[in-house]
Amino acid sequence: MIPLVPTPEQLAWQHDQLGVFLHFGINTFHGKEWSDGTLPAASFNPGNLDAEQWVKTARDAGAKYVVLTAKHHDGFCLWPTATTSYSVASSPWRDGRGDVVAEVAAACRKHGVKLGLYLSPWDRNAACYPDPVAYDAFYLRQLRELCSNYGKLCELWFDGAGSQGREYDWSSIAALIDELQPGAMVFNMGAPTIRWVGNEDGLAADPVNYVVDQTDFSNYTVHSAALAQALYLPPECDVSIRRGWFWHPGDEPKSLTHLLAIYYRSVGLGANLLLNLPPDTRGLIPDDDVARVHAFSGELRRRFAAPSVASLHAVGEGVWMAEFAAETRLDHLRLSEDLTRGQRVTAHRIKDGDGQVVMGAGTVGAQRIHVFPAVTAKRFFIELDGDNPALTSVVGFNTGVEVIPEIDYTASTDAPD
Ligand code: FUL
């Protein structure tokens, strides 16, 4: 069977590796995760909203893109939509003339970060929601506004939460995206090009298969959606730096160790990581979170700053020799697979020059980071299982760190209120 191949846009998205999720909205002002669509628009009033601070924090984290909740399940719109009065236009913020989506889009352009938008299908405010035909038209108008007025979008995030048993007009939604934002990644629903990893802890697990015939639906049901045919859908691991997706007083950011543990189990396994940084009631990402993000990206820079790039030689069927310029002390190896012909590696083993297995694992994908007790070596042999598989790079690092940290499970996301 010929493996399914990614589009250039999917490959580019996979190379981006890290995005920042921005959950911000009416919930922020009420300590809520899921409000019911009745909170007054007048209560949306960030005193000091600075979208540049959000985007610069994302950029400093090493993120190549952000995804903003333009509308969460409560229906409150962060842009002055013509479809409903439940939006920033009815709030005191910027005297009702503000547009959070536009401010984030401008900051993204200024700082070279790509923009993605989340538009919740489930809408607890829209009076027409119980009428599928009317709501589909309403939702398409909202999506058209977002896809027309804010420049190029890199990702559209469709969240299944709250929509169990409800069908939306996915073929019209897909046609609209094809018309207005053909390069955008489509998250998990409709005509997806990327998929949810299946948990909200930011964790992938080996093997990370890019070709799947079903997607998981949401965190609130075990239900999964069968696809009409198998598709190349690389996963995105979403997780909040805090317990909540939205900002809450008293909540706090996860530890540096926890963030690193997530990184190795998402990016390190060949998935993308979408790390949520919720702005607070001032409209700023809190100082503690910014400091934690700086510590996280600083530690990643430290670990990966001095790569030793191996030259690669195919030395047998599925066997590659990675050779360094000299004997080198290494405790990390980062492998990348040639994905242009589809994902082909199903399993692999790394052996040292004496034929001893250093690591054995499943998929490689966009990148696979191995961590092991340090060895000093000039060459490794990498045996790949799969249909005519190939590597594009093997890079070694001497980080001083020989184990992947454990997850602190007490700090995972709370159930919504
Ligand atoms: C979930 C939602 O219900 C949460 O509120 C959050 O937006 C998360 C990213 O997806 O399913």
Q: Residue 198 sits in a domain of what CATH number?
A: 3.20.20.80
| pLDDT tens column, 335-378 | 999 999 999 999 999 998 888 898 999 999 999 999 999 999 99
Whether residues 104 and 189 share a domain: the answer is yes
Check if the beta carbon of residue 218 is closer than 8 Å to that of residue 164: yes
Whether the per-residue pLDDT at 3 is higher than 70: the answer is no
Q: Domain check: are 71 and 37 in the same one?
A: yes
Distance from residue 398's CA to the centre of ligand 1 (Å): 38
Residues 376 and 260 in one domain: no
Cβ–ligand 1 contact at 236 (below 6 Å): no
Same domain, 277 and 330: no
Same domain, 287 and 359: no
Q: 1-5, 205-209, 261-265, 305-309: lowest mean pLDDT where? A: 1-5
Q: Quick one: which atom of ligand 1 is closest to the CA of 246?
A: 5
Find the mean pLDDT for residues 99-123.
Answer: 98
How far apart CA 268 and CA 367 sit, in angstroms, is 6
Q: Could you tell me the pTM of the whole model?
A: 0.97
Judgement on whether residues 217 and 329 belong to the same structural domain of the protein:
no
Query: Are 96 and 13 within one domain?
Result: yes
Closest CA to 282 of 10, 51, 32: 51
Task: Please indicate, yes or no, whether residues 236 and 341 belong to a single structural domain of this protein.
Answer: no
Residue where a domain terminates, one of 303, 322, 341: 303
How confident is the model at residue 98, as a pLDDT? 98
Q: Which residue has the tokens 């590796």?
A: 17
User: Would you place residue 408 in the very low, low, confident or very high pLDDT band (cuts 50, 70, 90)?
Assistant: confident
Q: Is the CB of 216 under 6 A from ligand 1?
A: no
Amino acid letter, 287: D
The C-alpha R_g of the chain, in whole angstroms, comes to 22
Looking at residue 409, its pLDDT comes to 73
| For range 25-44, the mean pLDDT | 98
Q: Is residue 213 part of a domain?
A: yes
Confidence of residue 2 (pLDDT cuts 50, 70, 90): low
The rounded Å distance from CA 264 to ligand 1 centre is 23
- Dump pLDDT digits (tens) for 263-284: 999 999 999 999 999 999 999 9
- Tokens 């890019």 locate to 210
Indicate which atom in ligand 1 lies nearest the CA of residue 157.
Answer: 9
Residue-wise pLDDT for 132-168, tens only, equals 999 999 999 999 999 999 999 999 999 999 999 999 9
Instruction: Check whether residue 185 and residue 322 sit in a common domain.
Output: no
Please indicate, yes or no, if residue 402 is contained in any of the structural domains.
no
Separation between Cα atoms, residue 294 and residue 288, nearest integer Å:
10
Q: What are 296-312's pLDDT values in tens digits? A: 999 999 999 999 999 99
Q: Is the pLDDT of residue 415 over 60?
A: no
Domain, as residue range, for 349: 308-397
221-237: pLDDT as tens digits: 877 889 989 999 999 99
Note whether residue 99 is domain-resident.
yes
Whether ligand 1 lies within 6 angstroms of the CB of 161 is answered as yes
Q: What is the pLDDT of residue 50?
A: 98
Which residue has the least CA distance to atom 10 on ligand 1? 159
Are 254 and 368 in a shared domain? no
Position 2 in a domain = no
3-class SS string, the chain? CCCCCCCHHHHHHHHHCEEEEECCCHHHHCCCCCCCCCCCHHHCCCCCCCHHHHHHHHHHHCCCEEEEEEECCCCCECCCCCCCCCEHHHCCHHHHCCCHHHHHHHHHHHHCCEEEEEECCCCCCCCCCCCHHHHHHHHHHHHHHHHHHCCCCCEEECCCCCCCCCCCCHHHHHHHHHHHCCCCEEECCCCCCEEECCCCCCCCCCCCCCEEEEEEEECCEEEEEEEEEEEECCEEEEEECCCCCCCCCCCCCCCHHHHHHHHHHCHHHCCEEEEECCCCCCCCCCHHHHHHHHHHHHHHHHHHCCCEECEEEEEECCEEEEEEEEEEEEEEEEEEECCCCCCCEEEEEEEECCCCEEEEECCCCCCEEEEEEEEEEEEEEEEEEECCCCEEEEEEECCCCCCCCCCCHHHCCCCCC
In a domain, 405, yes or no: no
- Show which of 303, 329, 364 is a domain's final residue: 303
Which of 263, 287, 303 terminates a domain? The answer is: 303
Nearest to 153 by CA among 144, 161, 162: 144
Q: Give the position, in ligand 1's atom list, of the atom nearest the Cα of 219.
A: 11
What CATH number does residue 321 fall under?
2.60.120.260
What is the atom index within ligand 1 of the atom nearest the CA of 220?
11
What's the CA-to-centroid distance between 161 and ligand 1, angstroms? Answer: 6
Residues ≥6 apart with Cβ < 8 Å to 12: none
Q: How many CB atoms lie within 10 A of CB 148?
A: 12
Q: Are residues 316 and 182 in the same domain?
A: no
Q: Note whether 241 and 136 are same-domain residues.
A: yes
* Residue 210 falls inside a structural domain: yes
Residue 319 · residue 382 · CB < 8 Å? yes
Model pLDDT, residue 411: 58
* Structural domains of the chain, count: 2
